[in-house]
Each structure stands twice: as C-alpha cells, then as structure tokens.
Structure 1
Amino acid sequence: MQKIIITNSHLFLRFRFLVFLLLSLSLHNGLSAKFKLGIEHLQETDFEILRGLKVGLLTHPAGVNGKGESSVEILRASSTVNLVALFGPEHGIYGNEKAAVPVEDKIDQKTGLPVFSLYGKFRKPTAEMLSKIDCLVIDLQDVGVRCYTYISCMKYAMEACFEEGKKVVVLDRPNPLGGLKMAGPMIDEKCMSYVGAFPMPFVHGLTIGEIALWSKKESGILNISETARKRGELLIVPMKNWSRLMTWPKTGLEWVPTSPNIPTLDSVAGYPMTGLGAQMGKFKHGIGTPQPFRFLTFEGKSSLELKQALDALNLGGLSFQIKTLKSNSGKNIDGVYIVLNDWSNWNPTELAFHMMRLSAKWETPSPFTKAKESEITLFNKHVGSQAWWDHLKETGENCNIEEFISLWNSELEQFKDKISRFHLY
C-alpha cells in the first residue's frame, strides 16, 4: 500500500520500502533556488536518518560538498553520526590508485578508520565487513557512462547490504552530462560484467540515485533473491534544484577528478566519445597527456591526415584542431584535439564507432579480424553488442554505422519510456 506523508515541507514516500526523498517544496520554485548536493541536503537535516546507527561510508575524492569539504570529514564532524568504517571503490578513497589495479584493505592514516577495498580481493562487501555497520552511506560521483565502475560498485554494495539486512543511504549527485543525453548500444545480457553491470545504454542519462531506485524497485536488476530485494531498505537523499537540463557547469560546482584519467570536464565528455574507439587498434586517445580522452593520435598517420579524415565524417557538434601536447614524460606529441561546439547536435558515442571503422581501413590486417579471444571478450564487455562486433569483424571499413545508430536510437526510446518512472527530477 502506498503511503504519502508530507512533513516539514519534505516529501517522504514509502512504497513497501523506504526511499528517503526529502524533496523540499523549494524544488518547485524553479532554478533560481540554490542547487544543493545530496550530502548538503543531508547536512540540512542534521543527519537525522543516521542517528543511533553505526555508519560505513563508500566514497572517493569527488565525494565533497559544494565547498569542497570531504563527505568523510563532514560525517566525522557531526555529533549525530557514528562513522566507524570507510569503503573504497576502484582508484581507492583518495583516487590515487591506478585503473584496473586491485586495491588492498588498510587503516586510513587521516582518520584511523578501517578502509575496506571494494576493488581488490572482494568487489562485493563481505558479511564480515558489514558486521561492523548498521548502515552504508554511498557518496560517489558518476560520469554518466555505463562502463564507469562506480555504479557497479554501488550495485554490488546494495546487493550485499540487502542480503545482510543493512540499510543503504545513497547521496545523490548530478550526472555531469545532464539528464537528457542517452547514446550508444544497450548491453547484451551475455556481455554484462563489472564494466557493464546494468541493462542500460552506454550513455544512460541517469543520476546515481535514480539508478539505485531503479535497482531496488525493478526485479532482476540486482543479483539477489526477490525476498532480499523486497526486504532491503534504501534511502535516497536527493539533490535540491537540479533538473535534467542541467549539465555540470550549470550547477556552479568545481569539477573534482573522479579518477586519474578524468581530471576535467573535457575528459568527462571525451570518455564516451573515444573510450570505445581506442579499445582495439592503433588509435590513442590522450591518456598520458593533459587531455585524456580528447586528444587523438594514430600510429602511421600525421596529424593533418587524421584531421582530414575526422573532418570528412561531418559529425554533429564536433570539430577538430591540430595540436601539440607534452606527454606526462615531457615528450612532445602531435595530434588532433576534439572540440565540442554544439551540445544539442552532439551524439556522445558516434565518434567512437567511426574510429573503429578508420582502424579497420588503415590497419592491415584489420585489428578486428586478428583479435585474440580475450581481446574480443573485453571489447564486447565495454561496447555491449555482439551484433556490432560480428558486423565490424565481417565488413571492416565498409561497416554500416548509420544503420546501427538508427537501431540503437530506437532501443533508446524504449529505454527512456521504461526508465522515466524512476526519475527523481
């Protein structure tokens, strides 16, 4: 039975499980009201939902309030909160661990609290880890892309907490790409993994709180029993005065690097544009330069040749500039910088598939025909479409990208219709 209670100008919904929405009536006053993150909204309530609980916190360096204060320190400073443990995702709680490298458990030197790594021996919290807490608070900044592992980390943590009877509190944060952009293929079930843990498009248009709500409410998203899913307690503390039209700059927040290779908003936008396109073949996408995911080179091609080929694609919203950057080792690198100059006409993933086509054209043999099984598996885990792989391998430079984008756009419309009931904004 649905029960709606309005108390102190906040809306609380209970629909067989608790979702702590705290939607202040100021939300209806338009965007002139001050934007606030979930952590700031929680602060406004004096952390009342955490009172009397032993609290664990899953976070990273981007888990800060609008003043740049860490959620770790915010919770520690509150007399209401008993913070007893920290949990770290890929790259660790301080973001200084390399991608895809396991992280060990440790004692945090700053706080003296135990830090349990969820990107080491275990990716799902163990019963032993969770025995120390009553509630897990999750404050992770996502980038709006399916293969970015923080949403997978949240999913595994939710599964474990629901199975062990621990409350989950998700502090919502903006999708930096806004809430309208969706792009790329849906993921085949057989391709799902830690870099594709949700049945969603590559660019998904959701906030991390909305993904948590979807996971809780819809059967089959979490890999746990129906009993555990229905019994699990999820509380979402939403942002205030965020709308789906708001990209990151409109929030007024500084960007805090979410991982070593996403240091800027340029990299956030570049991640879905070039990440898949450099998965296999001779394209490099700027890792090791000041412009990761926005700076392209191709072994054996000059910057001019590369720019001419990219210009000929006539991709909406994009233009290309020849630049010379210094690598992290001090070496000059000539390449092509991707300029995003028309947000409304930009398809975030389109360039990546044209990069694949160019790789097939410029390399003999094509990297897609000589790929090892392990490389194919990794490629499909990220891209998510076995049909695209089969087509690319068979047709190479003659692949029909437009036909696949049309198909994927149709699937996106279906996903939009399905997912909209989980929108919080």
Structure 2
Amino acid sequence: MKIGLDNFLENHVQKFKGKRIGLVTNMTGVNQSLTPTIDLFHEHPDIHLAALYGPEHGIRGDAKEGEKVESFVDPYTKVQVYSLYGASKKPSKEMLDPVDVIFFDLQDIGARYYTFIYTMAYVMEACAEQGKHFVVLDRPNPISGTIIEGNLVAEEFKSFVGLYPIPNRHGMTVGEIAQMYKYEFGINCELTVIPMVGWNRDMYYDETGLFWVPPSPNTTGIDMSILYPGTCLVEGTNLSEGRGTTRPFEYVGSPYVDGYRLAKAFNAKKLPGVLARPTSFIPTYQKHKEQICEGVQLHLVDRTAIHSLATGLALLETIAEMYPNDFEFVQFGEKKRYMFDLLAGTNELRDLIVRGKTSTFLEGCRVQEEAFRKQREPYLLYK
C-alpha cells in the first residue's frame, strides 16, 4: 500500500509547482522509509515550503498534553513554525499570508477525543475564510475503518476534545473526515484529498507494513489505541489513566484501589475480547505523581471482538461500585465544569456510571451509531 504522502510525491507534485506551500505536520509526517515530510518538501526542487504549522504536542512531539506551544523558526529548515496549540488553535490571516496551499499530514488514532482532527477543522475554516486551498495527505485509521462506537456529541458539550457530532470511535481516515467537514458540516474551503493506495477498511495499523510513530507522548501502540475510545474517559475522574507510565490508557488505578479485587470483579463481567490483570504502578507525572497506584492492566484477547467504549465504561462502573466514597469525577475552571462531560459529549453518563446503568447508555448509542454510519457513507474513500 501507499500512504497519501507517497502517492502525492509520485503522482501529484506538478499540480502544485510554483505555489507557496504550508504544512501542518509533526513527527508522524514521514514517508514509508521514515523520512520526514518536512525534509521531503523542503528538499524537493518543485515544492516551495513557505511555512510549517504544529498541532498539540508541537511539530517534534516534545510537549505534553494540554501544554501550550510557542511559534518558532525550525532550526533544521529555517522555516517559520506557527503553533496551532498556543495563543490560538485557529490560524490567523497573518499566519496564512505566507502560503497559497496548506497541506495536512498527521497520523490520527481513530478516537473522537484526539485533537488533530479539530486542528484540521480549524485550519479548514481559516482556509475557507482566506481563500486558501487545503490538501489532506491521507493516512490509515490505525484501529480500522469498520467499527463505530459511541454517542454523538451534544451541542452544549462541544469542545476541542469533541468539536463535531461524531462517535467515540469513528472508523474514518482524516481525508474522509475532511470531506465530511466540508460537505456535511459546511466548512466550505477548496479541498483536495490525496488518497492512500491499497488500504482496506478492515486493516489495523500493524497490517499495513508501516512503521508506528507515536503521534503524541502517550500513544504507545495499537493496543493502547484500540482501548483509548473507552479508557480516555478515565481522564475525567480521579483515577490515573496510566499517564507517566510505560502503558498509558492500558493501566488504570489509584492509591485507593485494590488491584486484585478490581481485576477479579472486572473479569467476572466476561466482556468480549479483553482481560484485566492486577498491577501496581507509580506515575512520574500527572495524577498521583510518585504515589503507588494499584489497579489493572487491560490486555486485548481479541481486537475484533472488544467493544472499547463498553470496556472503559465497565471498568469505571466497577470502580464506582467498589469505592463509592473515593471515586470522583474531577471539575475544572471557575465554572466547575466536568472534564468527563466534554469527553463523553453529554452530562448523562456520569450518573449512569454511579448507578451501574451504563448498559442503558450503550443501548441508546446504537441508534446514533447507525445514523452516523449512514451519514458518513458518501465520504468514504476506501472499501
């Protein structure tokens, strides 16, 4: 197979000769031989790389989640890098003035919460306003393009971890999402998607022959990415989601948890495709930093059978039942909003977790999943 980047360099470069090119990318922007897109563009005789744009974590991936990134001049290419995760998440007119066309080459991980697809939305909005051409160099959805899980984000809970009504696990590539943004959600910029060649919807990333480059510090691999549509919700609680360990979003625990009891209770639910193993860990940063946490590591038994969201909810429900006086949903800001609600796209799920009724929520998701499956159909590029 070929990713969009290699397809572009082999077949489409001449269409953009003479244009001033901007590039939204980071360390995942590499060709199939791991040469960075930045270098390939900068050194290409027919490409004028005029500006770089970095998403959350920066173009080199050295910033932590939520950490603001400053604009700077790239020391290797001497090209100006504009941060899209600093003072503004949407490029200003001044940031787009140096370019005619903006290319987007980032590896997504297939979950609604992951911010790269909203960076793409904001850049598309700015391109529509400033009359710039937007080009997506498509890449695989690493957790396949067939499975859809979860609810659609309610209007009042839209945020940078859920800006559009898409489910927790959307099963789309960034190129397909870009088409949906334009034709379904009205971001009417000039759009070109350079597709992959040879990618099938049922492929997982480790079946593509591509090297895995972590898109951010805590995206460690395929197992983590499959679990993430469910275990990312742990971020909205006082549990550690394993940040600051070698297994983020696979480890879940806290100083108040008994890992052996939790593993036994979770495994008794007999969820398909997953088993829990009792473990202990000490986060190096974030929640419960340098404290011993007990909990579980979730292990994939069958990645085609697991329902990631149901797995995450079952784990939270189990912990809420076992530790009703310790388990909490965390609040932030002056308005005391719940981060969990922004991740969940609704304020109904917190109560259902505490009451042990998440099966009701999952049943309600099925109607929304089916509606989304039909809604996305016209924008799918691969069968």
* TM surpasses 0.5: yes
1:299 partnered with 2:260:
no
- Give unpaired runs (5+ residues) of structure 2: none
CA distance in 2, matches of 1:365, 1:324: 18
CA distance in 2, matches of 1:55, 1:80: 11
8 Å CA contact retained: 1:46, 1:80: no
Which letter does structure 2 place at the counterpart of 1:345? A
**Which residue matches 1:353?**
313
Indicate whether 1:285 and 2:246 are aligned.
Answer: no
Give the Cα–Cα distance (whole angstroms) in 2 for the partners of residues 154 and 199 of structure 1: 15
| Paired position in structure 1 for 2:301 | 341
Instruction: Kindly indicate whether the alpha-carbon contact (under 8 Å) linking 1:210 and 1:422 is maintained by their aligned counterparts in 2.
Output: yes
Are the equivalent residues in 2 in contact too, given 1:280–1:379 (CA < 8 A)?
Answer: yes
Deviates more, 1:291-300 or 1:82-91: 291-300
Q: Counterparts of 1:95 and 1:366 in 2: how far apart (Å)? A: 32
Deviates more, 1:379-388 or 1:176-185: 379-388
Relative to 1, partners in 2 of residues 1:294 and 1:237: Cα closer, same or farther, differing over 3 Å?
same
* Structure 1 residues 72 and 174: CA distance shift in structure 2, 3 A: same
Counterparts of 1:106-117 in structure 2, within 5 Å, are 106-117=72-83
Residues 270 and 292 in structure 1, CA contact (< 8 A), matched pair in contact too: no
In 2: Cα distance, 1:333 partner to 1:386 partner? 28
Aligned to 2:142: 176
Distance 2:32 2:284 in 1: 30
* Residues in 2 aligned to 1:161 and 1:175: alpha-carbon distance in whole angstroms: 24
Secondary structure, counterpart of 1:386 in structure 2: coil
**What is the rounded CA distance, in whole Å, between the counterparts of 1:341 and 1:374 in structure 2?**
42
Contact 2:255–2:293 (CA under 8 A) maintained in structure 1:
no
Cα distance in 2, alignment partners of residues 190 and 61 from structure 1: 34
Q: Summarize the Cα distance change of 1:378–1:322 in structure 2 as closer, same or farther, 3 Å threshold.
A: closer
State the alpha-carbon separation in 2 of the partners of residues 307 and 403 from structure 1.
23
Residues of 2 paired with 1:279 and 1:377: CA distance? 7
Kindly report the root-mean-square deviation, in angstroms, between the aligned alpha carbons of the 2 structures. 2.0
Measured in 2, the distance between the counterparts of 1:384 and 1:335 equals 26
Normalised by the length of structure 1, the TM-score is 0.84
| Aligned mates of 1:182, 1:386 — CA distance in 2 | 21
Q: Distance in 1 between matches of 2:247 and 2:326?
A: 30
1:340-380 alpha-carbon deviations (Å, 9 max, x no partner): 11122211111222233234321316525x95785544221
Equivalent residue for 1:79, pick from 16, 33, 45: 45
Which letter does structure 2 place at the counterpart of 1:60? N
Aligned residue among 159, 162, 180 for 1:193: 159
Task: Specify whether residues 246 and 46 from structure 1 end up closer, same or farther in structure 2 by C-alpha distance, changes over 3 A only.
Answer: same
* Distance change >3 Å, CA 287–CA 371, structure 1 → 2: closer
Q: Is the 8 A contact 1:59 1:88 kept in 2?
A: yes
Which of 1 and 2 has greater Rg? 1
Q: Which residue of 2 aligns with 1:268?
A: 225
User: Which position in structure 2 is the counterpart of 1:312?
Assistant: 268
Query: Which residue pairs with 1:378 in the alignment?
Result: 339
2:9 maps to which of 43, 48, 54:
43
Deviations 1:167-204 (A, max 9, x none): 00100000001101111221101111111112110111
Q: Residue 308 of structure 1: SS of its match in structure 2?
A: helix
Q: Distance in 2 between matches of 1:233 and 1:76?
A: 24
d(CA) in 2 for partners of 1:39, 1:213: 18
User: For residue 70 of structure 1, what is the aligned residue in structure 2?
Assistant: 36
Structure 2 residue 144 is the aligned partner of structure 1 residue 144: no
* Offset of residue 164 of structure 1: 0.3
Residue-by-residue CA offset, 1:292-328 (whole Å, 9 max, x unaligned): 1101223322221121121122111101223455755
Please state if 1:254 is matched with 2:215.
no
* Cα 1:405–1:46 shift into 2, 3 Å: closer
Q: In structure 2, how many angstroms separate the alpha carbons of the residues matched to 1:422 and 1:154?
A: 16
Report the Cα offset of residue 390 of structure 1: 4.8
Say how many residue pairs are matched.
Answer: 376
2:70 aligned residue: 104
One-letter amino acid of the counterpart of residue 320, structure 1: A
Structure 1 unaligned spans of 5+: 1-34, 223-228
Code of the residue aligned with 1:388 in structure 2: it is L
**Paired residues of 1:188 and 1:386 also in contact (CA < 8 A):** no
Amino-acid identity (%): 33
Provide the C-alpha distance between the structure 2 equivalents of 1:63 and 1:271, rounded to a whole number of angstroms. 22
3-state DSSP of counterpart to 1:266: helix
Confirm or deny that 1:402 pairs with 2:359. Answer: yes
Letter in 1 for 2:347: Q
Query: Does the 8 A contact of 1:297 with 1:306 survive in 2?
Result: no
Do residues 367 (structure 1) and 328 (structure 2) align?
Answer: yes
Contact 2:56 2:115 (C-alpha < 8 Å) held by counterparts:
yes
Alpha carbons of structure 1 residues 371 and 52: separation in structure 2 relative to 1, 3 Å: closer
